[in-house]
């Protein structure tokens, strides 16, 4: 019987995870660390980020926190160069950071539109710009972008978010085409409603009672529940590992059947 770690072939790899201080980012960092990946947590929340890294290290994994605003190209370049200098390589990039504003185009202020597009879409471009050359020098790597079911099918009062996530979906495909010859695979995980701080923030923005909002978010799905951050982390693990060596340009919907 093969060892499960041998199947995934991740031991000793170096990963960057944006939005790594909480939610899907943190769950993914923990899952990768369980398989021997050295995880770099990137976030703008220093307190939560350092706490998250500490939790991973205390459980026997390896994590470091980097203060990084993905909207800042200078921040992204500095982190990529620092990690390369320290470890000599970057094998996995999880472009996960995102924000949401539950408003129509009429209701959105310009700065709100810019924030959502910049964090969710420009952030993926910024990190990829500096990480891809490092991956290429070292024989390849895996990039996973966080999309959304709303990047495939529109949703109400979330115009900027839908636009950003649709951009992520097609950016994934374009990057897969451009960088496949360098043995860099680029895929997208598109979650449905997942029990994260972001989803709970949506309830606040819509002036909904949190518990009722979470219940309503699970309704109509064949699996009849919300997603958990671990559900999404497992999909990212697949794309990061050698189980998906001939998979690139793919969009994996992880939503309990919500788009079925």
Give the pLDDT score at 1.
Answer: 65
Give the pLDDT score at 112.
Answer: 98
Give the pLDDT score at 74.
Answer: 98
User: Nearest CA to 163 among 107, 110, 109, 116?
Assistant: 116
Can you read off the two tokens belonging to residue 253? 């919907």
The span from the CA of 12 to the CA of 88, in Å, is: 12
- CATH code of 4-192+228-249, in short, is 3.40.50.720
Is residue 185 within 8 Å of residue 248, measured between CB atoms? yes
Give the pLDDT score at 3.
Answer: 73
Helix axes 123-137, 159-179, angle to 10 degrees: 20
Can you read off the two tokens belonging to residue 114? 């810019």
Q: What is the DSSP letter of 182?
A: G
Classify residue 249 as left (phi > 0), alpha (psi -120 to 50) or beta.
Answer: left
Q: What are phi and psi of 42, to 5 degrees?
A: -110, 130
Q: What are phi and psi of 234, to 5 degrees?
A: -65, -35
Checking DSSP bridges between strand 184-191 and strand 92-95, what pairing results, if any?
unpaired
Is residue 32 within 8 Å of residue 8, measured between CB atoms? no
The span from the CA of 230 to the CA of 25, in Å, is: 10
Q: What are phi and psi of 62, to 5 degrees?
A: -130, 125
Can you read off the two tokens belonging to residue 217? 């978010």
The rounded Cα 118 to chain-centroid distance in angstroms is: 15
Q: In degrees to the nearest 10, what's the CA dihedral of 230, 231, 236, 237?
A: 70
Q: Of residues 65, 66, 150, 161, which has the active-site annotation?
A: 161
161 catalytic residue (yes or no): yes
Q: Could you tell me which residues are beta bridge partners of residue 189?
A: 146, 252
pLDDT tens for each residue of the chain, 260 residues long: 667 667 788 999 999 999 999 999 999 999 999 999 999 999 999 999 999 999 999 999 999 999 999 999 999 999 999 999 999 999 999 999 999 999 999 999 999 999 999 999 999 999 999 999 999 999 999 999 999 999 999 999 999 999 999 999 999 999 999 999 999 999 999 999 999 999 999 999 999 999 999 999 999 899 999 999 999 999 999 999 999 999 999 999 999 999 99
Considering all CA atoms of the chain, what is the largest pairwise distance in Å, rounded to the nearest integer? 59
Three-state DSSP at 232 gives helix
Give the pLDDT score at 4.
Answer: 67
Give the pLDDT score at 197.
Answer: 92
The CB density around residue 61, as the number of other CB atoms within 10 Å, is 20
- Domain map of the chain by residue range? 4-192+228-249, 195-226
Q: What is the pLDDT of residues 97-117, one digit of tens each?
A: 999 999 999 999 999 999 999
**Strands ordered across the beta sheet of 14-18:** 62-67, 38-43, 14-18, 92-95, 141-146, 184-191, 251-254
The CB density around residue 64, as the number of other CB atoms within 10 Å, is 18
Q: What are phi and psi of 16, to 5 degrees?
A: -105, 130
């Amino acid at each position: 019987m093969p060892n499960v770690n041998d199947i995934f072939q991740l031991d000793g790899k170096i990963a960057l995870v944006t939005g790594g201080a909480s939610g899907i980012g943190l769950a993914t960092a923990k899952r990768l660390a369980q398989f021997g990946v050295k995880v770099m947590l990137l976030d703008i929340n220093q307190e939560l980020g350092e706490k998250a890294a500490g939790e991973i290290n205390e459980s026997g994994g390896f994590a470091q926190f980097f203060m990084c605003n993905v909207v800042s190209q200078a921040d992204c370049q500095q982190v990529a160069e620092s990690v390369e200098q320290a470890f000599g390589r970057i094998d996995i990039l999880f472009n996960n950071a995102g924000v949401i504003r539950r408003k129509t185009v009429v209701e959105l202020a310009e700065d709100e539109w810019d924030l959502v597009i910049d964090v969710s879409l420009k952030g993926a471009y910024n990190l990829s710009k500096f990480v891809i050359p490092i991956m290429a020098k070292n024989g390849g790597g895996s990039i996973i972008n966080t999309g959304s079911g709303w990047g495939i099918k529109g949703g109400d009062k979330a115009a900027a978010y839908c636009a950003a996530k649709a951009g992520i979906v097609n950016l994934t495909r374009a990057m897969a085409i451009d960088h496949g010859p360098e043995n860099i695979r680029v895929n997208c995980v598109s979650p449905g409603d997942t029990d994260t701080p972001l989803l709970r923030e949506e309830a606040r923005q819509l002036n909904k009672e949190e518990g009722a909002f979470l219940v309503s978010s699970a309704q109509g799905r064949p699996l009849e529940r919300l997603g958990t951050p671990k559900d999404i982390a497992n999909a990212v693990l697949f794309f990061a590992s050698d189980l998906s060596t001939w998979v690139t340009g793919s969009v994996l919907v992880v939503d309990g059947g919500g788009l079925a």
